[in-house]
Amino acid sequence: MESRKLRSKSSKVESKALFDFDNVNEYLYSDKEIAIGGNGAVYHYYGCGMPELPKLKSNTKIVERQLPRRPPKEDPLPDTTYDIFYRRMKKNEKQMSNEERIKNLWELDTLQSQLERLTQYDWIRSLPDITVIKDMKDYDELERKKELTIKEIERLLQKHENWRKRKEVHSQEMKEWYGGSDSEYDVPIEELRERRKLEKRQRYGPVIRLNLGNDYCLVIDPLATPKIEKCEEPPKPKGKPITKLEDVEDISQIDIQTKDNILFGTNFEDIPTYRNGFQLPLHMRRMMHKQAK
């Protein structure tokens, strides 16, 4: 009876995880010339060798544009219907983003360690664990694949660095835009809806009302279908009504509030004088002098 093998003793690395520069596009990695058209060409453009290009028949139907339908007054599917699904998807998205971040950090650490191993004096021992090698005795192949591997690892590291910088810039812009919050998921749905509405108003313009007469006006909304509705009555001014002088028929009804030293409800003796001196008009001083007698 054979013993059960719990773990393989083979230290061979799977070829899927290695850099393979033999089965790649020669036009990208070997700078092979691309021949287009003519004899011995690899790529042939459409209609190559034809005196005239064939005429294609199109079965596309042109449909006249229809006016947009009027939106319903009440939403048949309110946002509260999707609250549970929204929370579940939010949780799944955070979980997937964390897993993706951990995976990227692990790949970055692996690439950095591989690059460090290839720059040491015993890089020949480490190269087969990183890149597919056909003949270990061929030194030219080892040198060529070492340079290709280092170049590819540096490209991937630069890609990770660019991604990290873009993420920092994006996070900073999100914090500045949303006032310290780097995610829209923390914003209540009502506030988010109002924010989106305000952004659309700033982008497409405000609502315009045109008075058509007969207490009706045309409402032009950039985000909805134009409609005609009854005009709202202007608010009435608060306080006492203001009477114009030309509307007064009897002058004796006008009360200028004259009593003792008061005229138009103001006591002129209580008015402070200016620095350079202040005097009342002559007819007012005469009137006050007569009243004093």
Q: What confidence tens digit (pLDDT) does each residue in 215-234 have?
A: 888 888 887 788 888 887 66
Residue 136: inside a domain, yes or no?
Answer: yes
Region 175-203: what's the mean pLDDT?
72
Q: What percent of the chain shows pLDDT beyond 90?
A: 14
Taking the whole predicted model, whether its pTM rises above 0.85 is answered as no
Q: Is the pLDDT of residue 97 over 80?
A: yes
Last residue of a domain, one of 215, 230, 245: 230
Q: Which of 180, 199, 221 is the last residue of a domain?
A: 180
What integer pLDDT is reported at residue 15 of this predicted model? 52
Q: Are 168 and 207 contained in the same domain?
A: no
For residue 75, give the amino acid letter: D
Same domain as 172, residue 113: yes
126 and 105, same structural domain?
yes
Which has more pLDDT, 288 or 115?
A: 115
- Beta carbons of 196 and 178 less than 8 angstroms apart: no
In this structure, the answer to whether residues 154 and 196 fall within a common structural domain is no
In a domain, 129, yes or no: yes
Host domain of residue 172:
80-180
Closest CA to 130 of 108, 153, 109: 153
Contact 205, 199 (CB under 8 A): no
Residues 190 and 176 in one domain: no
Task: For 26-69, write each residue's pLDDT tens digit.
Answer: 777 667 777 776 666 666 666 666 667 667 777 888 877 776 67
Residue 106 pLDDT class (50, 70, 90 cuts): very high
Task: Identify whether 108 is part of a domain.
Answer: yes
**17-33 residue pLDDT tens:** 688 887 777 777 667 77
Find tokens 């002058």 and name the residue: 251
Pair of tokens at residue 279: 């005097």
Domain final residue pick, 180, 211, 239: 180
Q: How many CB atoms lie within 10 A of CB 130?
A: 25
**Of 277, 24, 262, which is closest to residue 132 (Cα–Cα)?**
24
Residues 84, 162, single domain; the answer is yes
Of 175, 119, 167, the residue nearest 147 (C-alpha): 119
In a domain, 110, yes or no: yes
Number of structural domains found in the chain: 2
**Residue 46 belongs to some domain of the structure:** no
- Please tell me whether residues 115 and 156 are part of one structural domain: yes
Strand partners, 220: 208
